[in-house]
Amino acid sequence: MAADKRKRNILIIDNTSRSRNLLKDSLRDHFMCFDVDTGEKGLKVVTEVGTRLSAVLINLVMSRVSAVTLLQEMNKQKLIPGLPVIVMLPAKAEEEEKQCYGLGAVDIIHKPYDPTSVVRHIRSAIDLAERLKKDSSGADPVSVLSRIIMQQSRDIERQKDNNNHIVDAICTIVELRHLESGFHMQRIREFTRILASLIMNNYPEYGITPDQIDIIVQAAAWHDIGKIVIPDAIIMKPGKLTADEFDVMKSHTTRGAEILENMLDKNDTRLFSICSDVARHHHEKYDGGGYPDKLSGDTISMPAQICGLADIYDALNSDRAYKSAVPPDRAFEMIVSGETGAFNPKLLNCFKMGRAELEGYAVRTRQEEKAQQEAG
């Protein structure tokens, strides 16, 4: 096994030639890759040259030796300590995932996967192993690992703060370009939070969690980012748009998704998927009458449904270049009656339950917005 000293050595154990080649192609710029096509061969390599490996990546599909069996054998031979092992599994293989973690796997990559995320998973696993090795001389490994986890948790929190700063910066840009009021961004985030919390508490089948609500609220702030590329002549037109102009306006959904797909970290899969989905689909309608993809029912994600309703509710409550605001009670009636398009009945139930809180926040921030405008 000839090693390139400039790159870390990793072993790929993958019994599918196509998958093995794809992994090598995506990893060879970052690591020196060695590969075998069976668990037995992989065990032999680890036994013979494991000390020269920086990580092992296991992807065994319908194989005689499964990932779990291979990890069990590696444990018997005491090959796991100090060698990061990453296992690739289908997203719903919960029991196998638990077994792999219990047998010493440091990470699980869910399939289908993004090649760039595989690089990041491997680098993180190697970094963690090296930090453990460096910091554990004479120290309790549990306390060392605890310190590392605490540091990583702080890094995650800093990243969350950075994401919030980016959201705020985009809100400011939109406000300065007069595409929307800064209060619109403030209101739609709060309306989204109220509705998402009600969905979580009343309709658990949608799987909304408190952590996910935070991401949906961030997505709400990004939802109209595509309007950045729409000409002012269309955005600020005081009258009705022509058919061609409306087609341009509708493109803010797809353009917004494209912008976010280029801006966001694809490794943060939940933030990436929810934000780009909301940007693209917040104008879809439950009956299939929306755009751009004419989705219907629950093929529209619940985050996109929530942000879509929150957006329309605030639009009705706000002055725009082409219309005046309607009173909150009238806005409520228009949405419930279907004048503004079809919505999920469960979401409408939550809208009704949250009416007092939604209207109270709308009135309060409208007063603040008016006072700010009058103050110049």
Q: Please, are residues 271 and 163 in contact by the beta-carbon 8 Å criterion?
A: yes
Catalytic residue among 5, 76, 227, 323: 227
Do you find a cis peptide bond into 81, omega within 30 degrees of 0?
no
In this structure, the answer to whether residues 304 and 188 fall within a common structural domain is: yes
In this structure, the answer to whether residues 171 and 123 fall within a common structural domain is: no
Which two structure tokens, joined as six digits, stand for 154? 């702080």
Q: Is 227 a catalytic residue?
A: yes
In this structure, the answer to whether residues 89 and 200 fall within a common structural domain is: no
- Report pLDDT for 295: 96
The last residue of one of the domains, among 137, 168, 191, is 137
- Report pLDDT for 179: 47
CA dihedral 361, 363, 364, 370 (to 10 degrees): 140
Secondary structure (DSSP) of 246-273: HHHHHTHHHHHHHHHHHHS-TTSHHHHH
In this structure, the answer to whether residues 44 and 175 fall within a common structural domain is: no
Q: What's the CA gap between 183 and 147, in Å, rounded?
A: 41
Do you find a cis peptide bond into 345, omega within 30 degrees of 0?
no
- Report pLDDT for 172: 57
Q: How many domains does the chain have?
A: 2
- Report pLDDT for 282: 97
In this structure, the answer to whether residues 121 and 195 fall within a common structural domain is: no
CA dihedral 350, 351, 354, 358 (to 10 degrees): 150
Question: Structural domain of residue 53, as residue ranges?
Answer: 8-137
In this structure, the answer to whether residues 193 and 307 fall within a common structural domain is: yes
- Does the pTM surpass 0.85? The reply is no
Q: pLDDT averaged over consecutive 10-residue blocks of the chain (376 residues)?
A: 67 90 87 92 90 91 86 88 87 83 85 77 83 59 52 58 59 55 78 96 93 90 84 82 93 89 68 89 96 96 97 86 80 95 96 95 82 64
